[in-house]
A and B are shown apart, each in its own frame.
Chain A
């Protein structure tokens, strides 16, 4: 009898719980399961084959492949190039987003659409176009060449292609955040006596920082993975202008599948690390003002 009542009460409690937790859209378990299965099929399983394939290698062989001077030079070019390209894109992407959000001018819609072109154009087309412009006979490449600056078939060309493909990411992540930042805030800073430089660095930039970090990460990842446009403009000289994806491709063409996956694994781990760092920095900026360290900072600041 008593047990029966307890059971009834528990049942009642459970129904109450279910009622209070009812969501307007049902199916959390179903949708989560679907997401995980999808992610597994499309991303995790294919990528895990890289790990398995490499695991079949001897450790000594693996080290020899991934530390070969040609591979190290390629890592350097790929990662430094991608980091530099993402940085450049952050600066100029922010400016572009600023102009598009804050001003009204003729053909603004057109310019807004042009920004997405690097998304849409096949990368080989982009590569041919960039080579035509920056090449030794191109309208920009020729005068620069006379001045002693080689763009196409040099490292600079790799950077140009990386900047090109990564540009839309920064613009498209910063734009909506900038639209949400009202002019009031800048005017408030001005009435408090702040000049333009201070208003930009102390008021606007902190607000945009999380979006900028996201744009940076996306642009970086895109530049690192870019293949099509770079092979046209870089000249593909081993040790000098050869990027990692191309080196992998070369190994595949020589039927060296193990060597190719070994390099791929290094790329995978390195890019995961960089994205992880960028994301944690972004998380910190978002939560900076409520973090414990900041509480302490404010307290000491208030105490003078």
Chain B
């Protein structure tokens, strides 16, 4: 079932949570709504479910305008961040709830419950109460309960937000596999960009109640539409500087063969922490001398801070490199090195320039 959201606006008091949002979720796809807190992503999800009423705009499921349909007739499966399981019911009773509401026969209900229990790997837990389950198991019960009445649309609100990193990782992959199996149109909300990029077919990036960009994960990562998306997606160094007739200048870095302006323009350079490379020799203008001020190994990568020498202010840049790289180049904290920028994105005060690779 395709979901069309057309010009939906919603305000809480004077706070505009959604501002003329247009989103299309193609049938059978898994779409992530990604954004910082307060960006309106949860409100949008609740509008799709019918738990919030938009002030203007339309929500269309397939060909049907469901804007005025109440929640219970929309046939959506909704998974809440804090599970919202019925505490006094067992796992099996929780899963069966939606079926009993629909007056399914006992045999039918039992069959569907058994099917979901095995699909969600909850075997042997049917008679437990929610309070007797772990966080990951509770979330799977919530998912089973939402899926039991065969919803047209599955909506998940920060489904893995309350779980620890390891369980989150497992459930994430498992959700992806599950979606490959059952193909129900799914929208999930997250503030974790890694989660969105790992799981979703399409990512919609929201900020201040507006859609900043939507598209395939690779597309968003490689071609961010604007400074916000660039900053939000991935670890980015933002450097203040300017563009003049010789090129653009940022904290001791000069990019000669890029953009030139007859009248100097204030600009910001966005450089991902993985797009900077350390080298021993000073080869061209895209590199700058400086000192490694901090280094911390996190698993297979080393996160470092680099302080450019020529920089007038005490700006430092985050640089991330592989452990192998770190070792083979014999780097250490306090070492004087050159940092070479491999890729930069420059956003002048007004307008913008596209990706520049070197």
Contact A191 B88 (CB under 8 A): no
Task: Give chain A residues whose Cβ lies under 8 Å from the Cβ of B175.
Answer: none
Q: Kindly state the separation between the CA atoms of A299 and B92 in the bound complex, as whole angstroms.
A: 10
Contact B84 A182 (CB under 8 A): yes
Task: Give chain B residues whose Cβ lies under 8 Å from the Cβ of A284.
Answer: none
Q: Is B245 an interface residue (CB 8 A)?
A: no
- When A192-B145, A289-B89, A295-B127 are in contact, do A184 and B72 touch as well, CB less than 8 Å? no
Report B155 CB to chain A, min CB distance, Å. Answer: 8
- When A185-B84, A206-B88, A290-B129 are in contact, do A192 and B110 touch as well, CB less than 8 Å? no
Task: Give chain B residues whose Cβ lies under 8 Å from the Cβ of A288.
Answer: 88
When each residue 184-223 of chain A gets 1 if its CB lies under 8 Å from chain B and 0 otherwise, what string results? 1101111111110010001100110000000000000000
Q: Is A60 an interface residue (CB 8 A)?
A: no
Q: Is A301 an interface residue (CB 8 A)?
A: yes
Other-chain contact of B77, A191, A207, A295 (Cβ < 8 Å): A191
Contact B72 A195 (CB under 8 A): yes
Task: Give chain B residues whose Cβ lies under 8 Å from the Cβ of A198.
Answer: 101
Task: Give chain B residues whose Cβ lies under 8 Å from the Cβ of A191.
Answer: 49, 51, 71-72, 74, 76-78, 146
When each residue 277-304 of chain A gets 1 if its CB lies under 8 Å from chain B and 0 otherwise, what string results? 0000000000011100011001101111
**In the complex, residue of chain B having the shortest beta-carbon distance to the beta carbon of A210:** B88
Task: Give chain A residues whose Cβ lies under 8 Å from the Cβ of B97.
Answer: 189, 192, 194, 202
Contact B86 A203 (CB under 8 A): yes
Task: Give chain B residues whose Cβ lies under 8 Å from the Cβ of A202.
Answer: 97
Task: Give chain A residues whose Cβ lies under 8 Å from the Cβ of B126.
Answer: 298, 302
What's the A-B contact tally at a CB cutoff of 8 Å?
89
Q: Kindly state the separation between the CA atoms of A275 and B305 in the bound complex, as whole angstroms.
A: 69
- When A188-B78, A192-B97, A192-B101 are in contact, do A301 and B72 touch as well, CB less than 8 Å? no
Contact A184 B87 (CB under 8 A): no
Size category, B interface = 35 or more
Q: Kindly state the separation between the CA atoms of A295 and B93 in the bound complex, as whole angstroms.
A: 11
Tell me the B75-125 residues at the A interface (CB within 8 Å). Answer: 75-78, 80, 82, 84-90, 92-93, 96-98, 101-102, 106-107, 109-111, 113-114
Contact A187 B71 (CB under 8 A): yes
Task: Give chain B residues whose Cβ lies under 8 Å from the Cβ of A185.
Answer: 84-86
Q: Kindly state the separation between the CA atoms of A185 and B87 in the bound complex, as whole angstroms.
A: 9
Task: Give chain A residues whose Cβ lies under 8 Å from the Cβ of B93.
Answer: 298, 301
**In the complex, residue of chain B having the shortest beta-carbon distance to the beta carbon of A180:** B87
Contact B113 A193 (CB under 8 A): no
Task: Give chain B residues whose Cβ lies under 8 Å from the Cβ of A290.
Answer: 129
Q: Is B308 an interface residue (CB 8 A)?
A: no
Task: Give chain A residues whose Cβ lies under 8 Å from the Cβ of B49.
Answer: 191
Q: Kindly state the separation between the CA atoms of A299 and B106 in the bound complex, as whole angstroms.
A: 12
**In the complex, residue of chain A having the shortest beta-carbon distance to the beta carbon of B142:** A188
- When A302-B113, A304-B110 are in contact, do A193 and B102 touch as well, CB less than 8 Å? yes
When each residue 62-89 of chain A gets 1 if its CB lies under 8 Å from chain B and 0 otherwise, what string results? 0000000000000000000000000000
**In the complex, residue of chain A having the shortest beta-carbon distance to the beta carbon of B97:** A192
Q: Is B209 an interface residue (CB 8 A)?
A: no
Task: Give chain B residues whose Cβ lies under 8 Å from the Cβ of A188.
Answer: 78, 80, 84-86, 142, 145
Contact A207 B88 (CB under 8 A): yes
Other-chain contact of A304, B71, B80, B88, B106 (Cβ < 8 Å): B106
Task: Give chain B residues whose Cβ lies under 8 Å from the Cβ of A184.
Answer: 80, 82, 84
Report A283 CB to chain B, min CB distance, Å. Answer: 14
Contact B98 A193 (CB under 8 A): yes
When each residue 39-55 of chain B gets 1 if its CB lies under 8 Å from chain A and 0 otherwise, what string results? 00000000001010000
**In the complex, residue of chain A having the shortest beta-carbon distance to the beta carbon of B129:** A289
Q: Kindly state the separation between the CA atoms of A295 and B106 in the bound complex, as whole angstroms.
A: 17
Q: Kindly state the separation between the CA atoms of A194 and B106 in the bound complex, as whole angstroms.
A: 18
When each residue 127-166 of chain B gets 1 if its CB lies under 8 Å from chain A and 0 otherwise, what string results? 1010000000000001001100100000000000000000
Contact A187 B80 (CB under 8 A): yes
- Using a CB–CB distance below 8 Å, which chain B residues touch chain A? 49, 51, 70-78, 80, 82, 84-90, 92-93, 96-98, 101-102, 106-107, 109-111, 113-114, 126-127, 129, 142, 145-146, 149
Known: A290-B129, A295-B127. 12 other contacts (CB 8 A): A182-B82, A187-B84, A189-B97, A191-B74, A191-B78, A192-B145, A192-B146, A193-B101, A193-B102, A198-B101, A289-B89, A301-B93
> 6 shortest A-B CB distances, which residue pairs?
A184-B84, A192-B98, A191-B78, A304-B107, A188-B84, A304-B110
Name 15 A/B residue pairs within 8 A (Cβ), A-sorted: A182-B82, A185-B85, A187-B84, A188-B142, A192-B72, A193-B72, A193-B73, A193-B75, A193-B98, A195-B72, A198-B101, A202-B97, A207-B87, A290-B129, A301-B93
